[in-house]
Amino acid sequence: MKRFKLNHLSIRVKLTLPYVLLSLLIATGGGLIVTQLMLDSVEQRFTNQLLETRKLASELMVHEEDRLLETLRLLAYTEGVPAAIVQRDHDQIMQLVYPVTFNAGEDVVLVLDEDGTVLAAMLRVADTNEYQFPQIDEKVNTFPFVAKLVNQEVDEMGDKYSGVSDADWGAYFFVSGPVNDQEGNLVGVILVGKSLSGIVYKIREETLAQATIYDMDFIPISSTFVDLPSKPDIKPETVLERKEKETLLRDLTSTRVAYTEVVSAWEIRDGEDIGILGTALPKDFLVQASRLTRWNVILQIVLAITAAILLGGWRSAKKNNPTHKIKTTANEI
């Protein structure tokens, strides 16, 4: 068996081979570096985009709370409302409160007496946007944001409070405020609320992220996912304690799609935590980006090899012509 020797290679191959090997080395090494840098950049952009959705969601919640407060103030200072509450005149309350509620497009408005008993209720049906006027017999003064008003508590933020209710007639985010007579005495309480489902779908519309509201025990209450996500393995205390220092991420799967979710405390205007808010983006963005990066690197390697072969061939052809003449002359001699 004849031993392969480099001398048996043609001059064209000898001149081209170093360029091919050099291009392979440069393309492979450079490709690995570029791939890692690009993937790191993609992951960083994904994380930043995820954090941005959480920031936008928080701003939306603050804006929604301010909007509810505007409606609350308008209702509380509507002429005739305090007297109608004192007289427990349901029809008069409805006549005064319903037009404001309808024009503001609020999901729910409850008018209570000074003890927290519901005198009138207006609930908007999400599918039809029509209002229902159910009779709610239960006292709602068990809700902290109602009990504080019934007890006439006032803190440094004033006499308006916020909170979440999860009753048989719906899950809502409420703002509450007192109704006083001309002497400044408490005669009733008004609650203006937004459904939690309406909140998460508004976040979804504004940020394009899946949104989930959890209670203080990290149990999901409302979500834009088809099915409510599972309870995270993260302890709720961890999220609440680290809210000023870091934002926590977790992976979850819904309808066979992998997501990354950012979770942090849901704070109301006085800094009180009333739940946990999560926003999630699909991971397929990362997968598509990594595939695109790999194909770019492969294309770079192919182009580098092709260029090396063409360059080597051109140089070998240029150098091989006089060399071939010398060989031919030598053979003739």
Q: Residue 289 — pLDDT band, cuts 50, 70, 90? A: very low
DSSP letter at 155 equals B
Average pLDDT of the residues of the chain = 82
Rounded CA-CA distance 102/173 in Å is 18
List, by residue range, all CATH 3.30.450.20 domains of the chain: 66-197
Distance CA 52, CA 49 (A): 5
Helix, strand counts (H, E) of the chain: 7, 11
Q: How many CB atoms lie within 10 A of CB 280?
A: 28
Residues 262 and 248 sit within 8 Å (Cβ to Cβ): yes
The structure tokens listed for 260 are: 């990354």
Q: What is the pTM of this model?
A: 0.74
d(CA 84, CA 94): 9
pLDDT (tens digit per residue) in 136-182:
988 899 999 999 999 998 887 888 999 999 888 889 999 999 999 99
Q: Which CATH class is domain 45-62+201-286?
A: alpha beta
> Tell me: the pLDDT tens digits for 106-118?
999 999 999 999 9
pLDDT at residue 9, as a whole number: 53
Burial class (CB in 10 A: 0-12, 13-18, 19+), 278: buried
184 in the Ramachandran plot: left (φ > 0), alpha (ψ -120 to 50) or beta?
A: left
Q: pLDDT (tens digit, 9 = 90+) per residue, 16-73?
A: 666 666 666 766 666 666 555 555 566 778 888 898 999 999 999 999 999 999 999 9
**Structure tokens belonging to residue 7:** 């001398």
Fold that domain 66-197 belongs to in CATH:
Beta-Lactamase (3.30.450)
